[in-house]
Amino acid sequence: MAHEAVVVLSNAPDLLLAKRIAHVLVEEGLVACVSLGAAGLSMYMWEGRLEGAEEIPMTMKTTRARLPELIERLAQLHPYDVPEILAVPVVGGLESYLDWVSQQTLPQ
């Protein structure tokens, strides 16, 4: 169960920071890879007011075993008070890719 793949969703306020976060997380072995998407508009309520901000979506692939460390590190790297960090279990996929994710995220 510890090596089960997990997809983590988050976002960053700009591309430069998204790239920096991705670089750190991959280099530290907390994720196998981070896919950065095109900027999009996020709408949300914050402190009683409707807010809108352009954000860069980040999709991270890791394992359940690395998830607690990833959440902690991502929260440290992120500038928001309450960053979006959502973990979604992977129910299937190409076995060789899932093995690669597991190998890339083994603690060193």
The candidate with the shortest Cα–Cα distance to 31, out of 62, 6, 3, 59, is 62
| pLDDT at 108 (0 to 100) | 80
Q: Where are the domains of the chain?
A: 5-104
Q: What percent of the chain has pLDDT over 90?
A: 95
| pLDDT at 76 (0 to 100) | 98
The CATH-assigned architecture of domain 5-104 is: 2-Layer Sandwich (3.30)
pLDDT in tens, 17-53: 999 999 999 999 999 999 999 999 999 999 999 999 9
Read out DSSP for 77-105? Answer: H--SSS---EEEE-----HHHHHHHHHHT
User: Mean pLDDT over all residues of the chain?
Assistant: 95
Work out whether the CA dihedral 65, 68, 72, 78 comes out positive or negative. positive
